[in-house]
């Protein structure tokens, strides 16, 4: 089984591009970012893991993910290789993201809520005032 679950912060804004299948007009969104994941234990540092997202999930990542945002994701490890311009073989290890979600509120992330998603912003401390849970 090849399954990875990570919790960390984006080290910079994601890079996005659109690819097109050969002989087709259909395009697919591809988003790539690096996630800083703390190691267990005090002062153990962090690992910087390259992550790739495809399709509709990538479109959402392109729209909502920003540098410093804390997310949790699950996916699989994928290895590969290519020959660079200097004719040197380069080996790669990426996490292909299958699911991702926010790991903190916008307020905790230091971001202001934006009404562009069609939903009203409700602060975390307002849970007690809501008629449902």
Phi (first) and psi of residue 57, to 5 degrees: -60, -35
CATH code reported for the domain at 4-129: 2.40.50.140
HEC string of 36-70 equals: EEECCCCCCCEEEEEEEEEHHHHHHHHHHCCCCCE
Note the pLDDT tens digit of each residue in 62-116: 999 999 999 999 999 999 999 999 999 999 999 999 999 999 877 666 654 444 5
Average pLDDT over residues 16-37: 90
With a CB cutoff of 8 Å and minimum separation 6, the contacts of 87 are: none
Query: Which residue ranges make up each domain of the chain?
Result: 4-129
pLDDT of residue 112: 46
Q: For 36-52, how does the pLDDT look when each residue is reduced to its tens digit (9 = 90+)?
A: 999 987 778 899 999 99
**Residue in this structure with the two tokens 């905790």, named with its chain if needed:** 108
Which pTM does this prediction carry? 0.74
């Amino acid at each position: 089984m090849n399954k990875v679950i990570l919790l960390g912060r984006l080290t910079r804004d994601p890079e996005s591009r659109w690819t097109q299948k050969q002989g087709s007009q259909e395009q697919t969104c591809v988003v790539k970012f690096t996630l800083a994941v703390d190691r267990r234990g005090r002062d153990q540092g962090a690992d910087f893991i390259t992550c790739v997202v495809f399709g509709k999930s990538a479109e959402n990542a392109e729209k909502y993910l920003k540098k410093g945002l804390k997310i949790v994701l699950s996916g699989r490890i994928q290895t590969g290789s290519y020959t660079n311009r200097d004719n040197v073989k380069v080996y790669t290890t990426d996490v292909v993201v299958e699911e991702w979600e926010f790991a903190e509120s916008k307020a905790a992330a230091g971001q202001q809520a934006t009404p562009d998603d069609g939903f009203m912003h409700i602060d975390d401390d307002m849970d007690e005032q809501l008629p449902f849970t």
